[in-house]
Amino acid sequence: MESETNLETFGSYLQSFRIKRELTIEEVAAKTRIAVHCLKAIEADDHQQLPPPAYVRSFIRAFADVVGANADLAVNLYRADLKQQETTLKLQLRRRAKVGAAKRTLLAAALIVGILLLLRYTDIGMDPAPPGEGAVGKRSFSQTAPGAESEAMGSGPVIGKTREKLKLKVIAVEQTWLKVIVDEQNAKSYKLKAEERLELEGSSNFNLMIGNAAAVKIFLDDRPVMIYGGSDQVVSLKIP
């Protein structure tokens, strides 16, 4: 069973503490001397509107101190989310490069075929049949050798086997949250209680960010996947 929800990221984690303290963004900005738009970008997990990571980590710590949150946990959540964003961007760029190469190959193949067809039809137009040779004579050049027709009929295209789907199973040992990206698509977040299971299918890979490395067991096609990390440690995995 799975329950999809808005789970804590570094931004939502800090925002929840700010709301509990009944502080406005402007009040936090006055106490931390951080611009309001930066604080809003932190709460929205908007990496594009944030400065370089070294500054962001400092801002997050100052934010956490003012609202009473755990600064180390907030920074770890930021680092994990940043790593996830970087991994996703690299995969997208690699995929675009492959698609671009495939398009260039198809364009080159189409150009070669067009040139060959042009040369063939130009040849036919410049080389008329000798006197006395009719349509029957031309047809004789295209006749199939004995037995070739049956051989051609027996050698059709070979259809490869469809690749089986990858099956990922996540079993919660204790309550935790995780974020999953299947086949480089949009990320989804889940919150699992102890003994709950999450089963997913994909074609190529899974990218996971786990809130507690010791809280889950993961299996890919019923084979266990090693998770390196301790209790309450946020980790990122790419499977396979």
Mean pLDDT (whole number) for 70-94: 90
Whether pLDDT at 189 is above 70: yes
Q: Residue 146: how many CA atoms within 13 Å on its side-chain side?
A: 0
Percentage of the chain surpassing pLDDT 90?
A: 53
pTM over the 0.85 mark: no
Whether pLDDT at 149 is above 50: no
Report domain extents, the chain: 10-82, 166-239
Whether pLDDT at 148 is above 80: no
Residue 24's pLDDT is what? 97
Q: How confident is the model at residue 153 (pLDDT cuts 50, 70, 90)?
A: very low
Q: Which residue has the tokens 């990221």?
A: 9
User: 95 versus 151: which is more confidently predicted?
Assistant: 95
Residues 6 or more apart whose Cβ sits within 8 Å of residue 80: 209, 234, 235, 236
**Domain 10-82 bears CATH identifier 2.40.50.140:** no
Mean pLDDT (whole number) for 108-130: 75
- Which pair of tokens denotes residue 78? 């930021």
